Every structure is written in C-alpha cells, then in structure tokens.
Structure 1
C-alpha cells in the first residue's frame, strides 16, 4: 500500500541522486576516481540539486493543479508562468528545456514545441516525472499516459518513452516490495520496437549476468553509452543505465545511487532516476538522514520560481492527491 514515507522517498531520492551526481556529470569513471576516489556521499558541503529536481517541482505543481486531467497545454501553462518570465539565465539548464522554452516564447504549443526541438530525445523529460508516479501510485499505465502529456512540451519519440518508463516504474515501486515488478512496469511502458526498449533490455541483460555491483557498473559503462555522440544526455542511454544499476542493486537505495554517481556520463540524471525508483520502493527511511536533510529545500539554481520548495511537503500533497483528497489543491 502506498504510504507518505514512500512518496517522500520518491522525491527525496530523486533530489539526492541529482545533487550527489552533479559534480561527476560528464566525467568518465576513471576521471571520477582520479579526482575523488570512490564517491560515496556529497562532495560539497553546500550541495544542491540541478534542473532535474526543479523541473520535477514544476511537474508536481501541474499535477496538483489539474490531477489526472493534466494535459500538455496545462504543462505549457505552468512553464509559461514559472519559467518564461524568469529574469536572467538558466544555470545548468538542458538543451531540451531551453529549446522548448524558446518554442513556447514564440507561441509554439505542444506537441510541436517538443517535436521541433534539437534534443527531443534527451533525458530531460525522464528526469522530472517521478511526481507523476506518485500521483498514479499503483497505476503504471496511467502514469505512462500522464508522463506523455508532460513530456510532449519538450520532447518527442524516445524522449517521451524514457519519461513513460520512469513514471510507470515509480508508480509500481510505491505499492510493491519486489524490485523486479518495478523494472517490469517500466519496460512495459515503452513501445517494444524502439531504441529505448532495446537499450533497456540490453542493460537489464548486463545487470543479470554481472557478479556484483562493481562488475555491473563496469560492464554497463562499457556496453550502453553512446560514445560516438558528444553529449551524454540521450534518454535511451540514461534510462537504460538507471534501470541497469537499479536492477544490479536489487532496488537498494544507496548502491543504486552511488553507482549512478560513479558511472559518470549524465550522472546527476541517472542517479536522480535510480534514486526516485529506489526511494519509492523503500521510502525515505532508506535514504541516509543527512542526505535527505541536505536536499529537502529546493535551491532554485536553474528555475528560480522553485526556490524554497519543501520536497517533503510537496510529496505529502501528492500523496493526498493520490488518495483522492481534494484538499491537496490548497498546496498550490
């Protein structure tokens, strides 16, 4: 049964992975080890999340305002209110989000705002949809449908499929104790003959044959990344790595997130997705207290309108929404 603890775990797990993985983003495992050794915690005292956490807050705000009636146009309206009016730059923003913002400013509505986008297949939608899983706890099919509505603002094709996988997996994780059911729900949410599905299956195969986390981490890095592409943020790659590490860790929170941080590539997003799934599966109590305390208040370093958001309060509001309590709308 879904609990507040698990809903909090999903959002705090996302934020922990995001903040912990940010310093190693874009690095190779060898470079991470040379600079930091094995990263097993936050590298900086004042660690904060990135756009991954902050766009997840915007996702949650849309859900709290519209519930399961949410449409892509509703999501665009949230972005218009919170993002398009922002003064100054967007520190650390992804290309997919900036492309969508430019489209929305030009009056281009979804789904064209997501189709006409240089990085429509990036992991920028998958990184933010854990709140959808919380709202749709126990209903992965509905979670995938709503993830598509959210993702279409900024993404298309595999960018959407990655979001569907994460939202569905979180929805299932909230109501089961079996990590294999979480993986199955995520995989079922992706069209079978797609780049995302193929890479997901390959990553899961690697994880199933690995003798422990160290080998899984090493082999996933060797076989999954798209080294020929200059950016490490493709949704098929990042989602596959998140699921592969989650599978190898059998859903345990700390090893899932720590391995995601140390694998490099788009490590903040990989760790955020793995953290959301593992946090939903085990609840906030599976996350070390010092870690979850550090990320509870959102900094707003990229999307300034999210600054000061309390992730525990946000998770509790989504929990109430998932239970059909209409009073949750007051949270917005």
Structure 2
C-alpha cells in the first residue's frame, strides 16, 4: 500500500506547481510549498484551454488515475503483464468506464483526462490495431509510461531485473526510446525499494544496473553530483540542492531550459537523452537520504514536471520506509478532495501482488526441480 499512497501524495502536491520555475513557485505561494496548496489560477477552467484542469487543492492528476487503472488490470489478471494486456484490458478501462476525475470535477472517461502522449495508446491500439509490442513507436517521448509503473515494481518485489523486463515489455504499447527506458528503470527502483531491509544505496545500485544509454548517463551524473551535498536543513540548502539536481540533469534533458517553450528536438527518440523526471527524482531521494517529506517537497518546489517527479520520489521513499512515512494529514485530505480511496487501491495491488509472488514461487520451485533432474541425467551420461 505504501508505494501507491506515497506516489499519489507526491502527485497531488506536485500538480499544483507543475510547469513553473522554483522562483515562480515561491512568488506565487509566498515561499516554498510545504504541503497542499491551491491552484495556480483561480479561473482554472479557462486560464489554459489546452489543459483546463483543477490542479492543487489536494487533487490527484492523470499519474494516479493511470496507476489505478494499471492496478485494476493486475487485480483482474493476477499475473505478470505485457503489452497485450495493455491492449486487451488497459485500453478498455480508458475508453469504457467513466470515473471521477478530480481535476475536471466531474465523471468522465480516463481518455478525456490524459494528455496527447497518453491518448496515443488508444489511437494506436483500439483504432489502429497496431502490434501492442510496437505501438509506442512514434509517440512523443515523455514520462507518460514511467509515471504509472510503480505497480510493476510491486509485482516483482525484490527483483529489479524482472521488474525492468516486465515494464519494458508492457510499456512498448505506449512509449519508445528513453521514455520506455525510464519506465523500466523506475519499475526496477520500486522493486528494489520494497525488498526487506533495502536502503537508498540498494535503489541506486538497481537503477544503475539496468539503465542504458542517456538514462544511465543521467542517473550517474545526478548520483555523482549530489553525493557530497549535505542533507538540506533550511530553505537555502533546499534551493541549492535543486540547482545541483537541475544542473546535473540539464545536459540530458531534451525539453530545454524553458519548460513551456520546448527546444526543437524535445521529446524525440535519442540514444543520448533521458526524461528529466527520473534522474531528478533520484537526485531528491539521494539528497534527502530517502526521507519521504524532504524528497517529495524537494520535487514539488523544483517545478517543471513536478507532479511526476514527486510521484517517482514518493514511490521510492515510501517503498523504503513503509506506509508510516506517508503523512496521513496529506493523504487524508487528498482522498477527501479527490473523492477517492487511494489506500484501497494500495491494498488491491498488495493482494494481487501476493498472488503473483505465490505463483512465481511455485514456478521457481518447479524450475529448480527440473534443473536438478537435468543435472542428474547429465551426471549419468
């Protein structure tokens, strides 16, 4: 339950600051954000017609809505998922079952809330009938697939390699290039975080072990940059950590310095680039040594894609620390404001994961027995 609730709290807090700079955030809110705050625009319905969403006030965003849908697929299938599961079960949830959308303050289809890169899933799989394993090719390369893969890590607890492989398969239906790679690495980080006795260093080791290309380079750069930075103890130190993280990520981020005015090569496939959100989240997790509040609020005040960065930082820190590190005063208010039982989603995923792990255990035992038989037969020969 911890990972799901920890990610959702980060999502709701970060939604209010998404798209802005740290300086703009402090000016708007009279200092650093320290919890749930109101929307950036009071006239949120008309201020940005392309994104008429009521962010802030404890509302979760599409990150959590997509996560909840993936949990429902795991709960239905009770087994590991692949790209075909996205086509056969995930897409029907997006287009066939109205749900409460907090940011729209109404019931709607998930399809009607998600942004263009996530609408791609429906266009390619439902209308285009593309091979699910290849449907992500051609999409905008962004963090859309990574933002909802924490359940994949939970389906592979303590096995980062398996989590990476499953996420890479599953998100082939949605993303390509470094967007897909980030999903695999993030799932591996969650799987590492929920292993008994895991530490921040274990999460870092898991990420670096599976990552490739620009994603690997960005993670290394952030880890090196924050390694000797003291844990922030005041606002100035928090600002300094954010600058260190951004400076380390910037060479690998295709979006560019102005988040709302993207560079010409933004979000195109590349062997050398990385999505910003994952290495930035790792930077705040490492900089705060796994402390949930510190890492999440660091991500929230970082701005840019703050909700997804806070999702990733929150999921990892909650995986390491358990449900007790997720502030109940935030979670209670977010559940109320979003009209959503996020804890129930966490319990549902835990129940499904228990069945998946149980089946994995039986398959492993059968495989070991087969290997023993093969070894004995080879010995006879």
TM-score (norm 2): 0.75
Change (3 A) 1:266 1:144: same
Please name the residue that 2:147 is paired with: 127
Asked whether 1:137 is paired with 2:148, we answer no
Counterpart residue number, 1:207 = 226
Tell me by how many angstroms 1:292 deviates: 2.1
Shift of the alpha carbon at 1:131?
Answer: 0.8
Q: Give 1:253 deviation, angstroms.
A: 0.6
**1:36-68 alpha-carbon deviations (Å, 9 max, x no partner):** 111110114841211111111122222233344
Q: Residue 135 of structure 2 aligns with which residue?
A: 113
Aligned partner (choices 114, 118, 123) of residue 97 of structure 1:
118
**Do residues 217 (structure 1) and 256 (structure 2) align?**
no
Inter-partner Cα distance in structure 2 for 1:298 and 1:224? 33
Unaligned residue ranges in structure 1 (runs of 5+): 1-7, 301-306, 327-332
2:23 counterpart residue number: 30
Alignment of 1:1-332 (within 5 A): 8-36=1-29, 37-44=31-38, 46-85=57-96, 90=111, 92-104=113-125, 105-117=127-139, 119=140, 121-175=141-195, 176-191=197-212, 194-213=213-232, 214=238, 215-225=240-250, 226=253, 227=256, 230-231=261-262, 236-296=275-335, 299=338, 310-324=344-358
- The equivalent residue for 1:4 is none
**Partners of 1:150 and 1:196 in 2: CA distance:** 19
**Cα separation, partners in 2 of 1:220 and 1:15, compared to 1, 3 Å:** same
Deviation of the 1:189 alpha carbon = 1.9
- Superposed CA deviations along residues 140-188 of structure 1, whole A, max 9, x for unmatched, are 1111111112211110121111011111111111113311101111221
Q: Counterpart of 1:24 in 2: which secondary structure?
A: coil
Partner of 1:330: none
Separation in structure 2 between the aligned mates of residue 139 and residue 223 of structure 1, nearest angstrom: 28
Give the direction of change, closer, same or farther, for the CA distance of 1:148–1:187 in structure 2 (3 Å limit).
same
Q: 1:284 to 1:184 in 2, by over 3 A?
A: same
Q: Distance in 2 between matches of 1:252 and 1:20?
A: 16
Q: Which has the higher contact order (CA 8 A, sep 6+)?
A: 1
Q: Which moved more, 1:17-26 or 1:130-139?
A: 130-139
Change (3 A) 1:312 1:67: closer
CA distance in 2, matches of 1:187, 1:142: 15
SS of equivalent residue, structure 1 residue 274: helix
Distance in 2, matches of 1:81 and 1:130, equals: 21
CA RMSD of aligned residues (A): 2.5
Q: Report if aligned partners of 2:79, 2:356 keep a CA contact under 8 Å in 1.
A: no
Change (3 A) 1:145 1:296: farther
Query: Could you report, residue by residue, the CA deviation over 1:282-313 in whole angstroms, capped at 9, with x for unpaired residues?
Result: 0110111112223447949xxxxxx6663233
How far has the Cα of 1:277 moved from its partner?
A: 0.3
Q: 1:278–1:24: structure 2 CA closer, same or farther, 3 Å change rule? A: same
Question: C-alpha displacement at 1:91, in angstroms?
Answer: 5.4
Number of aligned positions between the proteins: 309
Q: CA deviation at 1:315?
A: 3.6
- Superposition deviation, residue 325 in structure 1: 7.5
Distance 1:77 1:231 in 2: 34
Distance 1:14 1:107 in 2: 32
Deviations 1:184-233 (A, max 9, x none): 11221212xx1111111111111113233322212112342432573599
